[in-house]
Amino acid sequence: MKRLLPFCLLALAACSGADSREAAPGVSLLKDFSMAEADAGLSAWRLDAETGRLDEKKGVISFSSPRIRFYDQDRVSSEITALSGFLEMKKRDARLNDQVVVDSKRDGMRLTTTKLYYSSARAKIWTEEPVTIYKGRTVINGRGFIANPDLSEIEIRHQETRLSGK
């Protein structure tokens, strides 16, 4: 059974040093927090972020400088970074914004885009925005894609492939 481990709730003790009057009632300010999802005792993913804002009423955490690591048998299979994003706690769905980079640790593939969605229930990442995928000398451009978080299965729409000059 999948289980959300809300490390961020435990990290409330590590809330921002900012004055608590800055947060509205039901909103917690977080600093240097982590949260993870596990399945049968094995990590599925882990989110680390510099700062966050937990809106308990809406069940949403917004965060800055997120880094999400996806695991396969307790080994990091991919890592996603961005400038900002948010996570819906109940669905465990996320959206990452601005300078999004997906690094596949298995095969050295890297994907860049401006906006990326993740569904925990579907275990998929996707976007309708332009994407660029790099693997060795191969560069693939497209608009819109859906994939596994480790980029092991990718479907790219409107694709253009070229070899770099190196």
pLDDT in tens, 115-160: 999 998 899 999 999 999 999 989 999 999 999 999 999 999 888 7
Residue 166, pLDDT score:
57
Q: Global pTM?
A: 0.80
Residue 124, pLDDT score:
95
The enclosing domain of 21 has a CATH number of 2.60.450.10
Q: Please give the structure tokens belonging to residue 8.
A: 């961020």
Residue 128, pLDDT score:
95
Overall number of domains in the chain: 1
Q: What does the alpha-carbon distance between residue 122 and residue 110 come to, in Å, rounded to a whole number?
A: 21
Domain with 141 in it: 2-163
Residue 163, pLDDT score:
75
- Judge contact between 66 and 96, C-beta under 8 A: yes
Closest by alpha carbon to 9, among 66, 47, 64, 41? Answer: 47
Residue 165, pLDDT score:
65
pLDDT < 50 stretches in the chain: 1-21
Which DSSP symbol is given to 24?
P
Residue 131, pLDDT score:
95
Residue 162, pLDDT score:
74
